[in-house]
Amino acid sequence: MVYYTITYSIYFALCVGLFGFLKRDYRVPLVWIGGWLLMPVTFYPDLIAEGQGFPYWIVGLSLPSDLWPNKLWTVSVTTLLCLIFYEWDRIKQLRPCVWDAFLLAWCFWPVVQWSFGLDAAPKVWQSILILLGVWGAPWMIGRVIIFSVQDAMSFLRWMVVITSCLVPLALVEWLIRPILYGVVWWESHPFRFDGAERYLGFRPLLFFEHGNQYGLWICMVSVIGIWFLKSKQPLLSFRSAFLQRYGDPFLVGLISIVAILSQSVGAIVLMLLVTCYLLVLPCVHPKYLVAATGILLVIGGVLYLSNTIPFRKLATETQLGRKVVDSIRKSGRGSFSWRISQDQKALPLIRDHWMMGTAKWDWWRELNTRPWGYFVLLLGQFGAVGATLNLVVLLGTSLNALFRWRRNSVWCANQVGVLCAAIVVFSSLDGLMNAFLFAPATVLAAGLVRLSVSGPS
């Protein structure tokens, strides 16, 4: 614990000391994106050795738990404080809006739970502090740094460029196995073995919370790179005409190859879906696409959470169900059915607290397992009201941007807001099966407040 506190303190001191000397265009990307990609995740209280069990009790950093302080909180709070210290002129330009009110309601939802007599874990003040750091700070960062199309493109460009610097490290772990976290930070990562062996080589982990999160990150960055390439927007600047012409295609192609090599099937599927969505968007009215997707998700979510369709019983007690499960296992994707089974085990614990939530991060503890999907964890801890507030913060501005989009070409600079919205929405779908979210989604969602000019204000 002391080791991580010292590490985070050094990071904070370096950022505050150097922020003012950096060029404004790349201050935040270097501090926030660089910090997120390289810092140690958190102090893990219960590490396990290989072959001694699975650390199911470790949840993602986006929800309050015993994993605090952590890097998402530290990196976001540090960046926001640097903006306050050095760029107060940009802070003063902010104008409160409806979306900011939803953000505050979400961050202070634990107070409402406490007022209803729920015994919170973590404590109410700590939950609020964590939510303000992992949701409020990234939201404010997005509101401050993304005021225009050029600001959004700059942030996305830096995401691609900084991520490309990790490609050699990712290739090393793909060839050998996930080892760098332990080498650099002197502590073994608890999920270093989970899903590491893939069809070809290993899935890298680097300094992410989980290999799934690494796969989601590299796949979404690949989509961003493809958009820059197809939109003829430069990623790199070279004096050589040859490098200027072929540098960007090489960089994007390399990231795309590494994304495929991650072999995170869910993330690769989402990468293909968001790319196809951007391709067909000009041909189909976005309202129909968004509405149809939303209706399917709502109906599916209600059926899933209410157990109207007994998925576990169908999978274990019917011939067709057993064949489907066996087929999934034989394809090497047995984790898919396993994750659904973990959610299904936990659902009965939610039904008595479905409106307000339990206010406890480990409400699933008595099961000796936990749900693997973020949204089930969210619902159990904060209830339907809290989950709705969180989803409005995460998806509200993106869905608003897609609904209000006029049918123009997506592949041009002034449509970067559509790219941001699509990235946020599709990356968030990973939360159906994983507890580890795409960290920049909150920054991009907040940036859409200004990019989506016709949204609520």
213-254 residue pLDDT tens: 999 999 999 999 999 999 999 998 877 888 888 899 999 999
Q: Is 365 helix (H, G, I), strand (E, B) or coil?
A: helix
Percentage of the chain lying above the pLDDT 70 cut: 84
Is residue 331 predicted with pLDDT exceeding 50?
no
CB 320 within 8 A of CB 328: no
Rounded to 5°, angle at Cα 429 from 424 and 434:
115
In which band, very low, low, confident or very high, does the pLDDT at 328 lie, cut at 50, 70 and 90? very low
Q: What is the pLDDT of residues 393-407, one digit of tens each?
A: 999 999 888 888 776
Q: Token pair 């489907």 is at which residue?
A: 324
In which band, very low, low, confident or very high, does the pLDDT at 410 lie, cut at 50, 70 and 90? confident
Q: What is the pLDDT of residues 72-92, one digit of tens each?
A: 999 999 999 999 999 999 999
Lowest mean pLDDT among 36-40, 187-191, 223-227, 298-302: 298-302
Give the closest residue to 219 by CA, choosing from 162, 277, 270: 270
DSSP letter, residue 44 = -
Give the closest residue to 63 by CA, choosing from 135, 1, 114, 125: 135
Q: What is the pLDDT of residues 13-24, one digit of tens each?
A: 999 999 999 998
pLDDT of residue 304: 60
Q: What is the pLDDT of residues 246-291, one digit of tens each?
A: 899 999 999 999 999 999 999 999 999 999 988 887 666 666 666 6
Is residue 332 predicted with pLDDT exceeding 60?
no
C-alpha span between 49 and 52 (Å, rounded): 6
Global confidence as pTM: 0.91
C-alpha span between 221 and 207 (Å, rounded): 16
What are the contacts of 175-179 at 24+ separation with CB within 8 A?
Answer: 175/201, 175/202, 176/202, 177/202, 178/202, 178/203, 178/204, 178/205, 178/206, 178/211
C-alpha span between 15 and 41 (Å, rounded): 18
Rounded to 5°, angle at Cα 303 from 298 and 308:
160
- Report the pLDDT averaged over residues 413-431: 93
CB 426 within 8 A of CB 273: yes
Is residue 2 predicted with pLDDT exceeding 80?
no
Tabulate helix, strand, coil % of the chain (nearest 5): 70, 0, 30
Is residue 334 predicted with pLDDT exceeding 80?
no
In which band, very low, low, confident or very high, does the pLDDT at 456 lie, cut at 50, 70 and 90? very low
- Report the pLDDT averaged over residues 113-120: 94
Q: Give the DSSP per-residue string, 368-389.
A: TS---SHHHHHHHHHHHHHHHH
Is residue 457 predicted with pLDDT exceeding 50?
no
Q: What is the mean pLDDT of the chain?
A: 87
Is residue 174 predicted with pLDDT exceeding 60?
yes
Percentage of the chain lying above the pLDDT 90 cut: 66
